Structure 1
């Protein structure tokens, strides 16, 4: 069910909205906006709707706050697009932000994914903060249309990074470590080690020769430290030769810059064909899933338009 909690601004004499005083960005036309809010998402909370509405009273803009709840997510997202806003803010989990951005495409409204999930990879890349209130104000006051590139695999879109192969299982451990949940991090790490070497990947980059690796990390130009221009995805092959190297690589991924590990090689690519003996574990912008044993990853140079300060903040560049 979609719950529209506020709509046209209440204006007083002279058409001024009571309490409005902060200036909207001069770099984008913001006449109408929609904010999708999921109060049950990990980084949001039950007071989020009231807090969003309080912030919006500072700006002269027509707005609707739509509540994501129950089984009505798809309808709420459809209603948000049907309202034909200039921008759709998403205060929800990482998966919801990806779904809305994928639906928008380059010719749709601008999307502003606020940090309301667990890993918040895309919001942090765009706004450089895990504070959704600060990100909301940054977008409203400093944002401008930014073309975001990304990738697609198995019908799933990603805009920061995709990890394919058994090391994808290390992502939950890394996030648990970052949030101070050491026992949970250890449990995830043990599970990842048990599944290591359960099936190596065979892959080719842009139709080249087939290679083998333990895993692939595919990184968008927006957050890659190794790419200057959006010419493709940075494809990093992770190839530990034995259990000792695997453990070192896992520790590197948890605590430092994994790209400098000698078991890692990188290069840009626009098409990556991947094959394994069984379904491929993956993490797509922080969301775990299983891909089919044969998968193709495509680079999308113009995936959607974001409302974000320029240049993007990229707090968590990889």
Structure 2
């Protein structure tokens, strides 16, 4: 899981802990554009030495890579820190969950985020770039081929989704995904068993405002932002084969494989659980829960994100 810690008092933090973030380039870099690198050493495609390789390419392009952060072990930067340091670009190498955590922390900052695909699914990067490959994306950045944009998101309370949100007990399959990422066999079996039971027994989730979809509710309702609204899909699980198919679809981050109802598009809906218990959520692969009666809203994120193709 992403271990992000908010740091709001930059001056106090800088005085006490600056020694923990050594400069990767010396004072000779003054005058060059300041860049920070955030990476997730536990992400699906990270290999030892990758952060150093990225740093080397940035150095060769006459950029000042002032700091690097591994989100598995270090305090992550927020908007106040980046502004105080004069950072122009924060480069983030990781999966959708890592990108979500970093972009959320940088809301209100005037610089730009460069996402480098580094997870297993990289749904957001597939939307943003023609080639979903970190080297190709970095080359495009260094060649000045990327443009800044504000992303469309799904918001629910304090949570945002850059690529997708899943509401309902089927979101528990994300726990099995986490165990797979950590390669813990016992955890995979336990999480998968729990996900199957919960997906089958509920509490199912309904869209109640406006009232759309099955009267029986769904074990999973998916929201994906696109073209000024979010698309709504209700995922069905009517027999054991459907449970397994849906679970595998979630594990592989490919919901299109799962049986579902297309429920149209909207900019606002309210969801309620069958027994008014809390609604399990998966935001860009990360887990959360909200009270029954939760409101899901379309929104535009107030962070500049670099992209290479028109949003679809």
TM over 0.5: yes
- Between 176-185 and 152-161, report the one with greater CA deviation: 176-185
Which residues of 2 match residues 147-296 of structure 1 at below 5 A? 147-171=150-174, 188-196=191-199, 197-204=201-208, 207-209=209-211, 212-221=217-226, 230-241=227-238, 243=240, 245-250=242-247, 258-259=255-256, 263-276=260-273, 277-296=276-295
The answer to whether the Cα contact below 8 Å between 1:77 and 1:100 also exists between their aligned partners in 2 is no
* TM-score when normalising by structure 1: 0.72
Which residues of 2 match residues 42-121 of structure 1 at below 5 A? 43-68=45-70, 72-74=74-76, 78-92=80-94, 94-105=96-107, 108-117=110-119, 119-121=121-123
Change (3 A) 1:239 1:117: closer
Q: Distance in 2 between matches of 1:169 and 1:151?
A: 19
Q: Distance in 2 between matches of 1:296 and 1:233?
A: 13
Verify: 1:5 aligned to 2:5, yes or no.
Answer: no
Change (3 A) 1:130 1:175: farther
Q: Aligned Cα RMSD in Å?
A: 3.9
Give 1:27's aligned residue. Answer: none
Give 1:144's aligned residue. Answer: 147
Q: Distance in 2 between matches of 1:124 and 1:274?
A: 28
Change (3 A) 1:194 1:77: same
Give 1:225's aligned residue. Answer: none
The answer to whether the Cα contact below 8 Å between 2:130 and 2:309 also exists between their aligned partners in 1 is no
Per-residue displacement from partner, 1:167-211 (whole Å, max 9, x unpaired)?
Answer: 22234556888999999766544332111222011223xx42365
* TM-score when normalising by structure 2: 0.73
Change (3 A) 1:177 1:123: same
Specify the SS of the correspondent of 1:85.
coil
The answer to whether the Cα contact below 8 Å between 1:232 and 1:299 also exists between their aligned partners in 2 is yes
Q: Distance in 2 between matches of 1:68 and 1:182?
A: 25
The answer to whether the Cα contact below 8 Å between 1:249 and 1:263 also exists between their aligned partners in 2 is no
